[in-house]
Amino acid sequence: MMSKKDGQMQMIVMYICGLIPQKHLLKQIDKYINFDFIGEKAMPYYSKLWRKSIDPFCMIKMLLML
């Protein structure tokens, strides 16, 4: 994250995983489910033009949260 303060640039390095509590549902799920298979299964559905898309890992995890 970058911000401008007093005419100088300030950069803050954040480790996002450290902000998520240990008891969060997705951290609990990650202990028991290996999501490595998702990339291989989703590859045929990606555009050959490398257009931006939602990361399949994130999409599956978002659907689990619903």
pLDDT tens for residues 8-60? Answer: 777 777 777 778 788 888 788 888 888 888 888 888 887 777 777 778 888 88
Total domain count for the chain?
A: 1
Asked whether residue 13 is domain-assigned, the answer is no
Give domain status of residue 2, yes or no: no
Range of the domain at 60: 21-66
Rounded (10°) CA dihedral 6, 7, 8, 10: 60
42 touches 56 (CB < 8 A): yes
Give the residue with greater pLDDT, 3 vs 10: 10
Residue 5's pLDDT band (cuts 50, 70, 90):
low
Q: Is residue 9 part of a domain?
A: no
Does any domain span residue 10? no
66 within domain boundaries: yes
Is residue 5 included in any domain, yes or no? no
Q: Check residue 9 and give its pLDDT.
A: 73
Q: Structure pTM?
A: 0.50
